[in-house]
Amino acid sequence: MNLNKKTVKDISLDGHRVVMRVDFNVPLKEDNVADDTRIRAALPTIKYVVDHGASLVLLSHLGRPGGEAKPELSLKPVADYLAGLLDKPVRFAADCIDEEVVTMAAELQPGEVMVCENTRFHSEEDMKCKGDQAKIAAQETFAAELAKLGDIYVNDAFGTAHRAHASTAIITKFMDKSLCVAGFLMEKELQYLGNAIAAPKRPFAAIIGGAKISGKLEVMLSLMEKVDVILIGGGMAYTFYRALGKSIGNSLCEDELVETAKEIMQKAADNGVKLLLPVDNVEADKFANDANTKTVGENIDEDFMALDIGPKTIELYNQAIATASTVLWNGPMGCFEMPAFANGTMSICKAIADNSNCVSIIGGGDSVAAVNQSGLADKMSHISTGGGASLEFLEGKQLPGVSALADR
């Protein structure tokens, strides 16, 4: 997959109408935007487009409406919120296709912005076709209708780039390919993640956490050939423990992946990659913030469950982070949502922030939430907006939303 893609800076925008895919899949509370991170992330590209003489039509999904028009998943509150951020009117189209929407788009003047209704109100947007010719034809027809909204296509929604959806990839079949380009957010994601894979500054440390190996298996195997050290935390650590014959009490474990855990450890050894597991743990008698807890070594007591890494592990992991020149972090070290088990994850946040000499890349919803919770987000080099997309990128998979854009 060629990562050297054209961006909005590589083409003339003046007098054109841009249809731009953004990721406005934001949480709403009582018809108000509860977290505007994704909206603000798109602002640099939005402002650049309108400041350079183009009109702008914005496409996005919100939630999983399943092809139905659900009022609670309307993008109208997002359009209103965007108007406040831009300090200018933002028009709203009650659909994303039909003659009325196309007319509204055509009437936009240079510098004007319009948000279209949730693309997923149409089942054709994210239809799983799997070779079904009738479904493929329906999705392409829908994408062709979206393409009528502009003469330039910009994709600034990295978080959906791993999906071959109508508005993220297929739309480009019906537009001038040379005018299908990346926005600044997409460019930044490709730059940081691409460099981390192709030419990382070494030592390169990957911190992989979260509940299950199954969700991170492919990325761990892929990283084996690229990193110098892997730090394992979260519930997945105890599947490795079981593979090593340790007692795990009631801790999370994917019994069907015990042999896989052994293979991962062997592959790490074969590739000269240091794979670090917790050397101590915070265990609890129940999954609750008010549980009885204690710190133990590498064996978890019967009727207890490990819910965070312990102080010796924190020290060990901090040392590995302090000497790294590139750090990739995906997945928490424990149940950080509960204060009683947040110390490991928050300590990792601080260790990364304290290493001002490293390129730090944070990916995955929980890791991003932890960094934001820690108040140290501004100390990180790059916080990825794409959970699944980041993982698939790191696994070396093709991202349809990237492949569909014009190469430089």
Q: Which of 142, 164, 184 represents a domain boundary (last residue)?
A: 184
The pair phi, psi for residue 284, each rounded to 5°, is -140, 155
Buried/exposed 241-268: b ≥16 CB within 10 Å, e otherwise: bbbeeeebbbbbbbeebbebbeebbeeb
Taking the model in full, what pTM does it have? 0.85
- pLDDT band at 248; cut points 50, 70, 90: very high
H or E element in which residue 17 lies: strand 17-21
Tens-place pLDDT, residues 91-116: 999 999 999 999 999 999 999 999 99
Instruction: Quote the pLDDT of residue 1.
Output: 63
Rounded to the nearest 5°, which phi and psi values hold at 291?
Answer: -70, 160
Residues 373, 319 share a domain: yes
Percent pLDDT > 70 in the chain is 100
Mean local confidence (pLDDT), 150-162: 95
Among 177, 191, 186, which Cα is nearest to 157's? 186
Does one domain contain both 210 and 334?
yes
Say if 219 falls within a structural domain. yes
pLDDT of residue 313: 98
- At 44-93, the pLDDT tens digits run 999 999 999 999 999 999 999 999 999 999 999 999 999 999 999 999 99
End-to-end CA distance of the chain: 13
Contact present, 189 and 385 (Cβ < 8 Å): yes
Q: Let me know: does 45 contact 96? Beta carbons within 8 Å.
A: no
8 A C-beta contact, residue 207 and residue 324: no
Residues 210 and 265 in one domain: yes
Range of the domain at 353: 192-394
SS3 of residue 140 by DSSP:
helix
Asked if residue 121 belongs to a domain, the reply is yes
Q: How many domains does the chain have?
A: 2
Q: Residues 162, 223: one domain?
A: no
Output the furthest CA–CA distance in the chain (Å, rounded): 70
Of 130, 165, 184, the one marking the end of a domain is 184
Give 330's strand partners.
Answer: 208, 363
Q: Are both 76 and 153 inside the same structural domain?
A: yes
Mean pLDDT of the chain: 94
What pLDDT sits at residue 95?
98
Q: Specify whether the CB–CB gap between 167 and 143 falls below 8 A.
A: yes
Backbone torsions φ then ψ of 186, nearest 5 degrees:
-60, -45
Compute the average pLDDT of residues 16-45.
93
Tokens of residue 180, six digits: 């299908």
405 three-state secondary structure = coil
Residues 176 and 204 in one domain: no
Inside any domain, residue 405: no
Q: Is residue 322 located within the same domain as residue 370? A: yes
Instruction: List beta partners, residue 90.
Output: 113
Name the band, by pLDDT with cuts 50, 70 and 90, for residue 341. Answer: very high
d(CA 237, CA 239): 6
Q: Is the pLDDT of residue 227 over 70?
A: yes
Q: Which residues are catalytic?
A: 38, 212, 365, 388
Mind listing the pLDDT tens digit for each residue in 290-336? 999 999 999 999 999 999 999 999 999 999 999 999 999 999 999 99
Rounded CA gap, 302 and 337, in Å?
Answer: 24
Number of helical (H) and strand (E) elements in the chain, helices listed first: 13, 17
Of 134, 161, 184, the residue that ends a domain is: 184
